[in-house]
Every structure is written in structure tokens, then in C-alpha cells.
């Protein structure tokens, strides 16, 4: 009943976060009705594909490598905030409460999905410790079991190599299973300012 190219579009859209088959179908039909929207989206996606790159240092995305945060000399070079994804980095940055540097893991450890530290951006994190002099690490991972497990594993590895480093995590009060990206700026700011030793 659905033309094959449109059906393929719906299937691809349904794979995106927060879009199920019905929502994907609505988006596809909306784009189809407005030919201009489809052409603009195609142009924008091509531009993003060509111009947006991943920072080889921290894992952020931007138009240059290293990114604008890594090259900002006004930031506090002593503090590193470890986040799961770029969306979490943006959320922390929007809070205005953090002035240090970031490291994007690209996920969290998950035994069910077979994801260990090796599958994350962990090796680059270790390299950064060899070249940068961090005095404090803040874990800004979600309050899920996987987020907590990831924090424990990384902190254990870091403490073995650098026993004098201070390690903290966001203050408790984040609901269990919450993602950092969905917290409002005020809540995230309070969580950063009220962080506790890990």
C-alpha cells in the first residue's frame, strides 16, 4: 500500500530516538506534502555530513578539530567533566555552572549489550591524563545502573594511575534512570554545584 521509497524512509526515520513507526510515518508524510521541506532537509543533512566533525581530543562535535571548548584558554584546565554523549555535554554547558573541560565517552558500559570500556572513548581519556594535568574529575553520567557502573569502573582505573586526583559525581536527587540531557538548566546547575566525592 505504501510506495517502496516512502516505506524505506519511514523505516529509517523509525530507527531515530523517540520516533516509533507511527511517528515516523507522520514525519515522512509531512515531508512529502511539503516538497520544500524535503529539499531543505536533504541540503541541510548533506551540509552537516560534510562540515560537522568530531573532536579527536574530547569527542565533542563542531566545525573544527580540536573543538572550540578544547582550544578555549579561559577554561579551567584542572577540571574534567566526563559525559555519556554530546547532548549531555551541551546540557551541562547550558547550565553555565561548569567552566572546565569535557570528555565524551560515547555511551556507557552495558553488560546486556556487550559494551565494555574498550567500546567507549576510554583509551583517549587515558591519553589525556598523560598530557593534561587534571586535579578533579566530575562524572556527569545518567543516574542509571549502567551510568553508575561506568563511573565506578573508570574511577577505579583512574585512581590506580593517579591516586591523588579528586573524583566526584553529580549530586544525588536526579531521578533513577534520568538522562542528563533531559534535566533543566537550574536542576543541572544545582547538581553540579552540590557534587560529592565519588
Q: Shortest CA distance to 69 belongs to which of 101, 37, 23?
A: 101
Q: What is the pLDDT of residues 146-198, one digit of tens each?
A: 999 999 999 999 999 889 999 999 876 566 677 888 888 877 877 787 777 77
CA pair distance 53, 91, nearest whole angstrom: 19
Tell me whether residue 56 is in a domain: no
User: Is the model's pLDDT at 99 over the cut of 60?
Assistant: yes
Q: Tell me, yes or no, whether 86 and 163 share the same domain.
A: yes
Tell me whether residue 122 is in a domain: yes
Q: Tell me, yes or no, whether 100 and 12 share the same domain.
A: no
Q: Tell me, yes or no, whether 118 and 94 share the same domain.
A: yes
Tell me whether residue 181 is in a domain: yes
Q: Tell me, yes or no, whether 40 and 86 share the same domain.
A: no
Q: Tell me, yes or no, whether 78 and 115 share the same domain.
A: yes
Q: Tell me, yes or no, whether 88 and 113 share the same domain.
A: yes
Q: Residue 140: what pLDDT?
A: 96
Q: Tell me, yes or no, whether 43 and 88 share the same domain.
A: no
Cell of 53: 566533525
Q: Tell me, yes or no, whether 9 and 27 share the same domain.
A: yes
Query: For residue 101, what is the domain's CATH number?
Result: 3.40.1360.10
Q: Residue 46: what pLDDT?
A: 95
Q: Tell me, yes or no, whether 100 and 180 share the same domain.
A: yes
Q: What is the pLDDT of residues 2-49, one digit of tens each?
A: 899 999 999 999 999 999 999 999 999 998 888 788 889 899 999 999
Tell me whether residue 115 is in a domain: yes
Q: How many domains would you assign to the chain? A: 2
Tell me whether residue 154 is in a domain: yes
Query: For residue 10, what is the domain's CATH number?
Result: 1.10.8.420
Q: What is the pLDDT of residues 42-75, one digit of tens each?
A: 999 999 999 999 999 999 999 999 999 999 999 9
Tell me whether residue 23 is in a domain: yes
Q: Tell me, yes or no, whether 74 and 147 share the same domain.
A: yes
Task: Give the domain extent around 111.
Answer: 61-197
- Alpha carbon of residue 80 to chain centroid: 14
Q: What is the pLDDT of residues 132-160, one digit of tens each?
A: 999 999 999 987 889 999 999 999 999 99
Q: Tell me, yes or no, whether 41 and 85 share the same domain.
A: no
Q: Tell me, yes or no, whether 24 and 105 share the same domain.
A: no
Provide the whole-model pTM. 0.82
Amino acid at each position: 500500500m505504501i510506495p517502496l521509497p516512502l516505506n524505506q524512509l519511514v523505516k529509517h526515520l523509525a530507527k531515530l530516538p523517540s520516533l516509533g513507526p507511527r511517528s515516523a510515518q507522520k514525519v515522512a508524510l509531512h515531508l512529502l506534502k511539503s516538497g520544500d521541506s524535503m529539499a531543505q532537509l536533504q541540503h541541510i543533512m548533506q551540509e552537516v555530513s560534510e562540515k560537522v566533525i568530531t573532536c579527536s581530543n574530547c569527542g565533542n562535535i563542531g566545525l573544527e578539530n580540536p573543538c572550540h571548548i578544547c582550544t578555549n584558554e579561559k577554561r579551567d584546565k584542572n577540571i574534567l567533566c566526563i559525559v555519556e554523549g554530546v547532548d549531555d555535554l551541551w546540557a551541562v554547558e547550558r547550565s553555565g555552572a561548569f567552566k572546565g573541560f569535557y570528555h565524551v565517552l560515547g555511551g556507557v558500559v552495558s553488560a546486556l549489550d556487550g559494551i565494555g570500556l574498550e567500546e567507549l572513548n576510554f583509551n583517549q581519556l587515558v591519553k589525556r591524563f598523560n598530557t593534561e594535568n587534571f586535579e578533579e574529575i566530575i562524572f556527569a553520567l545518567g543516574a542509571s545502573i549502567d551510568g553508575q557502573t561506568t563511573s565506578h569502573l573508570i574511577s577505579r582505573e583512574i585512581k590506580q594511575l593517579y591516586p591523588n586526583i579528586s573524583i566526584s559525581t553529580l549530586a544525588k536527587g536526579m531521578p533513577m534512570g534520568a538522562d542528563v540531557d533531559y534535566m533543566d538548566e537550574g536542576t543541572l546547575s544545582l547538581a553540579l554545584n552540590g557534587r560529592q566525592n565519588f
